[in-house]
Structures are given as structure tokens and as C-alpha cells.
Structure 1
């Protein structure tokens, strides 16, 4: 029994919960990984469009989006640490219909997301290097993620993600600081408001929050880190708070850059190529080195969105197979160890990497991204509803259950996603 437990996490990490804030901060990591996974080019595009069109009046939307991400991720972490069960085990407690739904969704997600994110990566790279083939970047990015995850373990993923976050922090936050230090030429308001014509930008920013099914990876990464038991809840809260503070700052930085460079200029930013247009405007003001620094930051954001799901959703699928094998018997992730060498884990890693390449042959990356957006709109309200049920159930001791304020927030999140999902589906079929 003890040997199985040791094999399921990195033994170099502390497995005793820290008691001081400083010691807790030294151990943060899983939250950074899940937050970085959910921050992709789409978030940056929407922040850029909003900044170019409305200045900084929509900063409040980014803050609201980061709070929603925090509450959903913290809810998954609190459920896992307080109950000792993964989110899939909690989902399974609702019945086999719920487990079947999540399993089927995971399979569909793999092929759609695998094509969407590698296609997004290819769009960025072909814009950065004109004339290079789209398929080359799409396939190479998927294979690179596959190799890093196949031969690595969680600790490698975390350290690599930390490096990418560091690069993003230096390039993107640094670019915003340079902009602020040289600001003053553009007149825009920073007072929170809902400007005329900003409705779809607000929906776009809020609609990207949560990172869809990738948030469910949090419980597996907590387990891989060696965090088990209720005593880790305070550390987890700090971990997720720091993570979404940092990722919120990234989106704010992009909005500041766009507002200063493009607001009032009449320049229109559309799609992922718009990020390159922003970089071109940045180059005109600060030179080619500054342009490439910004583009490298965007590249880091997209690549984290490849690595995270390749690793985390493979864990989720392996957990799904584990629950199926138990056929209703009591399970425990701690005792029924899942590692990166698990056959089901590796089978899903292959699934999310290679079959999606056939979708890319149609060279319709925007349509694929739209399909992924619809998938996210279908899943997120269900996840929020499941968490609302689980965190008020007797499976969690009363001290770790939702407060009245938390219940209200989860209820509002559900209503928001139902509205966003309905709007997205309506626009898809009738817009």
C-alpha cells in the first residue's frame, strides 16, 4: 500500500502541509499549471479587442473573469482535499448517466481541442513567419507536447510551465510597463462602465473564463504534487489565488498595451492574427526587439494550452477507465495509483495528439475553434452545477462546504454560462 502511494507523486516535494504563509508560497504550483493551461491566445485576443475599442473601461470584466476561474478551480481543489475523491469520483456519485456524459465528452473534447489548439498555434506561427506551412506548425506543436508529456512526469510539466509563465511575465507584463512608462498620448477612461457596442466583447472575455474541462485536471495535479487531506486546503487556496492573480494580470497587460497603441486609431483587431497586428504597432513605437518580445509571450501562452490538456485530460480519462473497472466499488486515487505510464493515460495522449491532425487537413482552424467554443459552453454550466451539489453534500464535512456567499456565486456562474452558451449556440445556428 505504501509503495503505491509513493509512486503516485514526486517524492522530492514535501508531503506535510505547511503552516506559515511563506512556506505555503514556496510550494505553489498546481494552480499555476491549471491557470496557465486555461490562458490561451483567445483570452489575449478578446482583451486586445476590448482595449483597442474601449480603452480600459472593461478592466472590470477581466477581474470578474479571474474571480470566476478562481471559484471554480478552488471548488475542485476543496472537493478533492476535503473528500479525498477526484472530481470524476464526485461526478460518478450522481449516477452512471453523469459518468457516461463526462466520459463521452472527454473523448469528443480530445479530437476537437487537439485540432483547435494546434491550429491556433499554427496561425500564430505562420503570422510570425510568413510563408511557412500551416500544417508544419500544427503537427510539430502537437508532437512536441506529446513527447514532453509521454517521457515526462508532473514535476517536469510544472517546472516547464513555471519557465513559460516566467517568460510570459517578463515579456507581456514588461511590455505593459514600458507602455505605461511612456503613456500619456492617448486619452481614455479607466472608470468601470458598459460602453455602447461593448456587449459582445464582454461576453467574449467572460466566455473564455474557466478553461472548460481542463479545470478538472486540478485534482490530479494536486494529487501528483503530494497534497492530500484537509490540512492542505489553506495551501490550495493560496495556490489558486496566486495563479489567477498572475493570469488576470496577463489579460490586463494585453488590454493596456492595446488601449495605448490602438485606442482611437481606427485599427480593427480580429482573430489570432490581430495579435501580430498589435505587435506590429508595438514595433513601430519601440522597435523590433520589443515586437518579438511580445510575440514570444503570446507563443508561451498558446504552448501552455497544449501541454496542460495533453497531461491533465489524459489523467481524467485514465481516472474514467479506473472508475469503470471498479464497477461501483469504492475507489481511491491514492490507493489505485494513476501514473503517466498507465495504459489508459497513454492511449488518451495518443488520441488528443494524432487523430486531430486529420481535421487540420481541411485547413479550417477558425471553424474548429468555434466547435471548441460550443463544447466549452455546453460543459461549464454542468461543471458549476455539479460542484454546487457536491460542495453542499454530506460527502464533505460542514466546515468545508460552501458558504451562503459561495452558493450565490456558484448560482450566478451557472446562470452566466447558461446565458453565454445559449448565445453562442444561437449565433452559431441563426447568427
Structure 2
């Protein structure tokens, strides 16, 4: 294992044989200039659905659930740290870890990633198209035109670029959505004393599942598992990068936390304090917020918010097209090579960019893009929305509980196994996501 960087646009291109043995195990200094994978996971993990959930929580309960948004960031920091620690400490990918737990994990993941990708592709394209259709209402074909264009542009950006350029693109997108949402939050003039009071954990009447959803929904579902692949793509391939990974991860969820708190402020001030409700459900509710912003602050602020909405949805789309395709490529390549009796170092394959050039990587991108376009012609795809919510809920317990298993076993070097804090956070996360999953299933229109 080495700590080399990918030769395309990243630092440290020494070959393993050129390094003295001690250099491979030294702890590298955590440096702000190397931050990147965390920005990618933050840009991908917070999509329009997270904006809506946070906005609704703010509109219904004001600042009361601010503590839950922050707690959600702490839960996801623990999950992402555990994923990254597994990749760096063991030199194996999370797919390798799952396979070591039994064939059932491969069956579960294989079925999940196929069904989820089909549904998510349509949801992501539609979500990106909504603000564009509002900004350019006279475009022929309207929503469908923009949705198809979003999918094709996302496909091209990932297909023709490698991780280094992909990371730069995601940094630009998160910068746009972060600055716009924070700007709007400042414009609505937050009630600072009420916000500080919201840091005290309380549960207003009727807020239990909103609270759990806010904690569990901040910053990603299956993309949490992609974080390990992004740090490997950056060139971080062994435990010497552990401090850097942890700094990177904390920056990611600090950014996410500020973003989510800003949206909760917008919901609390614009909707809760004014006793207003959003028109339309799901992502369409964000268009209703744009109308309210136009009434209060003028056309410029409303249009700017739509640009932020678009950047939020599109960054999630591009991040999934890249990150989940890496997961699928690793899953497929490992399955094929195991059957052929071929051994490989999957972490090094990712670090060298070979997974990004593999046919399974590109096949999954095509799966995300073209088959879901047929769903765009459904007039009222309520079943699609319900299925997407349930599928998201089904993955997080699997991730949290398998990480708990892997990082307390002999599969992980003793130095890097879970301590009581990590065990506590992963156990809480696993139980939280189980409850949310059961709730999602209960709400299905059986």
C-alpha cells in the first residue's frame, strides 16, 4: 500500500518502489490545501430533498429543532469517518469488507444499487430541471427538456473527466449553493436569541419523526459509502493519511451543517414566523419558496435562490453519477475477478483511476441516465417518490451496522478499531435508521 496520489492533477506521484519503507507508514500532516473528498461528499450528500426536509422543519417548528440538524451532522461525521478509516486502515474497499461478512451482503447491495439507480436517476434529473424550468419558462418541452439535458450533461462531465477535475467541479458547485443559501438566510434576518435557544434539545408535540428525519437526512445516503472511494481516488490509500481524512471529513460536515442551519433559518423566518405554507409537495415546495422570496425581497433574490436550488440538485446528480458508479464498478470487477481466480488490490485500482475507465463504471452511468428518462413521462409519479424514500431508508441501517461489525472485528488492525465513541455513534446511527426505515414502510400505501 502507498500514500501516492493519482498522477492526474494530484500531489505526490512517487512510485512505491521509490520510497523507503518508513515513508509508507509515517503519519502525514493534516493540511487544508489537500481537502477535497469531503467537499465532494458534502456537495453530493445535500440535495433538494434535504433542503425541503429542513425547510419544512423550520416552517413547522421554527428554531426548536436546530439541535437536531447539528446532531445529524455529528452522526454523518461518524459514518463517513468510519468508512474512510476502513479504507485507509485495511487497504480494502467497503465492498471487500461487505463480501467478508457473507454472500448475503453482495446480494443485498447488488439488488439495491440497480433498483435505487433507476429511481434516483429520474428523481435527480427532475429535481435539477424544476428550477431551470422556472427560470426559463418559455423553453420548448419545459421540464422534460431540462431533465434530459441535466442527465446528459452530468453523464458527459463524469465520462470525460477524472477525479481531479471532478473534484474541482464539485468545489465550484458547493461554493455556489453554499454562498446563495447563506446569503438568503442573512437577508431574512435570523432571530439570534431564538436560534441559540434552539440548541437545547427539546421535542415539541408532533415533532418526533420530523426530528428523526432531520437527524438522519442531513448529508447523504448511499453516497456515504462512496466517501472511501473518493479518498482513494485522491491518492489517500493507507493509514498515513488518517489525520488528513479526519480533517477533510470534519470540514465536509461543518460545511453541511452551516448549509442546513441556513435553510432552517429561512424556513423559520419566512414561513413559521409569518404563518405561511409552501405550495406544492416535495421539491416543488422550493419553487413556492422562490415565490415568497420574490414577494419579500424582489426578483433578484428569488432568481438567485433558484440558481442555488439548481446547483444543489445538479451537484447531487453529478456526485452520484461518479461516486455510486465507482461502487458499482468495484462490486462488478471484484465479482468477475473472484470467479476467475484473479487477485487484485482494489484500493490501488481506484487510486490509479482504473475504476473510472472500466466498463462497469460507464455502464452504471448509462443506467443512471437513459432508462430513468422513461419515468419523466409519468404525469404524477407519486409511487416513484415513495419508492425513492423507502429505498434511501433501507441502505443507511445496512451501512451503519455493517461498519459497526467490520470495525470491531479482526478484519481491522487493532490500532484502528472502534473506540467507545465510534461504537456509540454508529450504534445510535444504526438504530435511528432502523426506526426511520420502519416508519417509511408504515407510510406505504399498502
The reply to whether TM is greater than 0.5 is yes
Alpha-carbon separation, structure 2, partners of 1:185 and 1:282? 23
Q: Distance in 2 between matches of 1:372 and 1:166?
A: 27
Does structure 1 retain, via aligned residues, the 8 Å contact 2:44–2:319? yes
Q: 1:18 to 1:284 in 2, by over 3 A?
A: farther
Q: Which of 411, 415, 422 in structure 2 is aligned with 1:395?
A: 411
TM superposition score normalised by structure 1: 0.91
Determine if contact 1:119/1:365 at 8 Å carries over to the other structure: no
Q: What SS does the corresponding residue of 1:428 show, helix, strand or coil? A: coil
> Could you say if the C-alpha distance between residues 90 and 293 of structure 1 is closer, same or farther in structure 2, counting changes exceeding 3 Å?
same
Give, in angstroms, the shift of residue 104 of structure 1: 2.0
The corresponding residue for 1:116 is 123
> Quick check: 1:10 aligned with 2:8?
yes
Q: CA deviation at 1:268?
A: 1.2
Q: Does 1:286 align with 2:293?
A: no
Equivalent position to 1:382, from 398, 412, 416: 398
SS at match of 1:340: helix
Please state how far the C-alpha of 1:120 moved relative to its aligned partner. 1.9
Q: Deviations over 1:257-295 (max 9, x none)?
A: 221222232311242222222222222232221222222
Please say which of residues 253-262 and 333-342 is displaced more in the overlay.
333-342
Separation in 1, partners of 2:420, 2:192:
44
Counterparts of 2:416 and 2:271, CA distance in 1: 46
User: Out of 98, 101, 104, which is 2:108 matched to?
Assistant: 101
Match for residue 375 of structure 2?
359
Does the CA-based 8 Å contact 2:27-2:243 persist in structure 1?
A: no
* Alignment correspondent of 2:149: 140
Moved more, 191-200 or 77-86: 191-200
* Residue 210 of structure 1, CA deviation: 5.0
Instruction: Output the CA distance in 1 between the equivalents of 2:233 and 2:355.
Output: 9
1:90 partnered with 2:106: no
Deviations 1:362-416 (A, max 9, x none): 2334432321111111111011111001111112112211002211221111111
Work out the CA distance in 1 between the residues paired with 2:50 and 2:299: 24
C-alpha distance in structure 2 between counterparts of 1:83 and 1:376, whole Å: 27
1:246 aligns with 2:255: yes
Shift of 1:340: 2.0
- Establish whether residue 152 from structure 1 lines up as the match of residue 161 from structure 2: yes
**CA distance, structure 1, for counterparts of residue 375 and residue 292 of structure 2:** 33
CA distance in 2, matches of 1:118, 1:14: 37
Structure-2 residue corresponding to 1:51? 58
Contact in 1 for aligned 2:28/2:240 (Cα 8 Å): no
CA distance in 2 between counterparts of 1:61 and 1:239 reads: 23
Cα distance in 1, alignment partners of residues 55 and 349 from structure 2: 45
Pairing partner for 1:173 from 182, 207, 216: 182
Q: TM-score, normalised by structure 2?
A: 0.89
Give the count of matched residue pairs. Answer: 425
Contact 2:84/2:227 (8 A) holds in 1: yes
Q: Say whether 1:304 aligns with 2:311.
A: no
Give the distance between the partners of 1:70 and 1:7, measured in 2 at CA: 24
Gaps of 5+ in 1: none
1:161 equivalent in structure 2:
170
Residue of structure 1 aligned with 2:364, choices 348, 354, 370: 348
Gap regions ≥5 residues in structure 2: 14-22
Q: Is the 8 A contact 2:128 2:310 kept in 1?
A: yes
